[in-house]
């Protein structure tokens, strides 16, 4: 890694990888995690020691490809056991041309990241010359991740006679989020990230959904300007990246976290419904609470691990956002009530 630390193991693939090294703490749901567009451009460590024990199945994919730069695991299972198993994780990674390093102490790397923050790292064969490694480590950080994962064309989902019409701004949306909205009675029109606000509003949706996505929210300047034009026109619900860009569009600021929240076991307090939720999260940036002073914005959710903001409600327009993923792919299923809250908003409540 960029701090000079080296971890040796078995590298599958001769393909070299460079990216921000992050860790995720989920004990299952590895295929959903592998296909989450919010991981675009990163080298990801699974802290759980055994990955791949129930194999892979296209049913679990959250996008049409794996957006990782590379994967690091302690042990990779090569003989999965599950009635849904249609292939090993290694086969899935090879199909997606993703290098994987196994046989390393993943918890030692995790402790280093927790102490010093996320770092640029590389996955390379042991005989790679040192000057080549240093050149890779000097690769500039990526800033175009949303452009890599957003849809390239407008498409629709759900029955034409659905009760509600929802415009979805795709910053790297997960498949099951869209499916949850359809199950709640919505007809979706999914737009590329930089679609002008005028084109989105032209379909006269009942509500607007701002999706999850990868990277630094401050990089999404065209998207933020479009959101400003949509504020107050329709009820809006945002998650993850959608949560962050909505805050920026309303005059707040975001900042990078030391190591972020990534996993399916993150505890959050809901200050509206007065309950504790276990949530699925994947983000390295957060809304800066100091920047909310004087703004008509109310904090409605907080992390129980570090007290950071996990949800916001806007007091002068019908909008609320959360930092976590409520659709449970992967993760617990107790947060779907947030979709119901959005439905009620579109119904005029």
DSSP structural state of residue 37: G
State the Cα torsion 158-29-322-161 to the nearest 10°: 10
Annotated active-site residue 240? The verdict is: yes
Q: Are 285 and 240 a contacting pair, CB within 8 Å?
A: no
207: enclosing H helix or E strand = strand 207-210
d(CA 78, CA 76): 6
Whether the bond into 330 is cis, omega within 30 of 0: yes
- Annotated catalytic residue: which of 240, 243, 277, 283? 240
Torsion of CA 292, 297, 301, 306, to 10 degrees: 0
Residue 147: CB atoms within 10 A of its CB come to 17
DSSP state of 271: T
3-state secondary structure of 38: helix
DSSP code string of 168-184: EEESS--HHHHHHHHHT
**In the chain, how many H helices and how many E strands?**
10, 18
Positions marked catalytic: 240, 325, 327
């Amino acid at each position: 890694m960029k701090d000079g630390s080296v971890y040796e193991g078995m590298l599958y693939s001769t393909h070299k990888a460079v990216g921000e090294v992050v860790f995720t703490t989920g004990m299952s749901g590895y295929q959903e995690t592998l296909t989450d567009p919010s991981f675009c451009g990163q080298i990801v460590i699974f802290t759980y020691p055994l990955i791949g024990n129930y194999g892979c199945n296209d049913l679990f994919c959250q996008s049409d490809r794996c957006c990782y730069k590379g994967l690091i695991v302690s042990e990779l299972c090569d003989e999965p056991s599950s009635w849904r198993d249609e292939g090993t994780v290694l086969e899935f990674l090879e199909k997606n041309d993703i290098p994987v390093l196994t046989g390393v102490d993943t918890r030692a790397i995790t402790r280093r990241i927790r102490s010093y923050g996320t770092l640029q790292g590389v996955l390379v064969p042991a005989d790679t010359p040192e000057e080549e490694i240093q050149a890779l480590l000097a690769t500039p950080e990526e800033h175009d991740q949303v452009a890599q994962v957003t849809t390239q064309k407008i498409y629709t989902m759900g029955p034409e006679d659905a009760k509600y019409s929802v415009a979805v701004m795709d910053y790297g949306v997960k498949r099951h989020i869209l499916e949850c909205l359809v199950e709640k009675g919505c007809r979706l029109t999914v737009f590329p990230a930089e679609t002008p606000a005028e084109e989105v509003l032209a379909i006269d949706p009942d509500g607007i959904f701002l999706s999850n996505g990868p990277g630094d929210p401050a990089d999404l300047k065209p998207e933020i300007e479009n959101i400003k034009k949509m504020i107050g026109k329709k009820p809006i619900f945002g998650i993850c990246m959608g949560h962050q860009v909505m805050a920026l569009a309303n005059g707040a600021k975001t900042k990078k976290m030391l190591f972020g929240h990534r996993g399916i076991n993150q505890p959050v307090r809901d200050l509206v419904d007065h309950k504790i939720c276990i949530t699925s999260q994947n983000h390295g940036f957060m809304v800066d609470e100091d920047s909310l002073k004087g703004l008509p914005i109310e904090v409605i959710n907080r992390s129980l691990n570090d007290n950071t903001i996990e949800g916001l409600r806007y007091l002068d327009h019908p909008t609320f956002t959360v930092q976590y993923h409520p659709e449970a792919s992967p993760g617990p299923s107790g947060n779907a009530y947030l979709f119901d809250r959005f439905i009620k908003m579109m119904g005029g409540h």
